[in-house]
Chains A and B, each alone.
Chain A
């Protein structure tokens, strides 16, 4: 089973990287972009594992290592 994990800065946390990308997109002629947030995308190859168990494990992995929950939030697809 493959898990796709997305880690992004919380909404309450200012994202200077996203802001720089936003400005670059605006100057490239994409005024329709309202906001940009830059995050991380992580793929995990899990092998044979029950879906409920996989979800528990991924949640734990995110909380322990993949995301820093002081500044980041995460979501995942299985």
Chain B
């Protein structure tokens, strides 16, 4: 599995993603500068977290017009894998690869802490190494992770099993207290209808080694490796 980690000006989780893929999982991994257009050799493209373009205008709004994003859209259309983490998720929403938008956290505060996620659908390239209902401990770090979409889109996301992870308590109960940002339906991560594009606010790359307090995040990357 060949991974390309996109580097936008202002990305700051690019090295963490690179480290996990290259050194923890021993996969061929390269950085991709946002001005590069040739990403044909990669099986999976990672849009990492950070503050691309300083979050100017809206999070992800400028990054989506980076030259590399045109290729990422084509890469996704060809059925290849894309995972967007945190700011990467915001870029996927702005680019229209995933539906919905992010609002500021309901608390108006930047939230940086471990949260629990309940896995809702394991029949995807990103969650196949998890069990349905399994609770993952993974940190979030964002100021705008309050997922929003219209009722119609929300219903169709739920119906077609596109909600892959939801904020829960440690026992997997979906409660308002477990929701760190006010997201609709406690949504933490969604995929597209074709199940090859996944965006999530929590940072699996920050929870992929036991030394960091949890290695639950590595299950998401290991799921991707299963795809031949």
Which residues from chain A sit less than 8 Å from chain B, CB to CB? 9, 12-14, 16-17, 20, 40, 65-66, 68, 70-71
Decide if B106 is an interface residue (CB 8 Å cutoff). yes
Give the chain B neighbours of A40 by CB distance below 8 A. 57
At the interface, yes or no: B94 with Cβ under 8 Å from chain A? yes
What B residues does A70 contact at CB under 8 A? 93, 99-101, 148-150
A65-B65, A70-B100, A71-B103 given as contacts; is B182 within 8 A of A16 (CB)?
yes
20 additional contacts, CB 8 Å, given A9-B103, A66-B57, A70-B100? Answer: A12-B150, A13-B103, A13-B148, A14-B182, A16-B103, A16-B104, A16-B105, A16-B106, A16-B108, A17-B104, A17-B108, A20-B108, A65-B61, A68-B58, A68-B61, A70-B148, A70-B149, A70-B150, A71-B101, A71-B103
Q: Which residues does chain A contribute within 8 Å of B107, judged by CB atoms?
A: 16
Label chain B's interface by main secondary structure.
loop
Residues of B that sit less than 8 Å from A by CB: 57-58, 61, 65, 93-94, 99-101, 103-108, 146, 148-150, 182
List the 10 closest A-B pairs by CB distance, nearest first: A70-B101, A71-B101, A16-B106, A68-B101, A16-B108, A20-B108, A16-B104, A68-B58, A71-B148, A17-B104
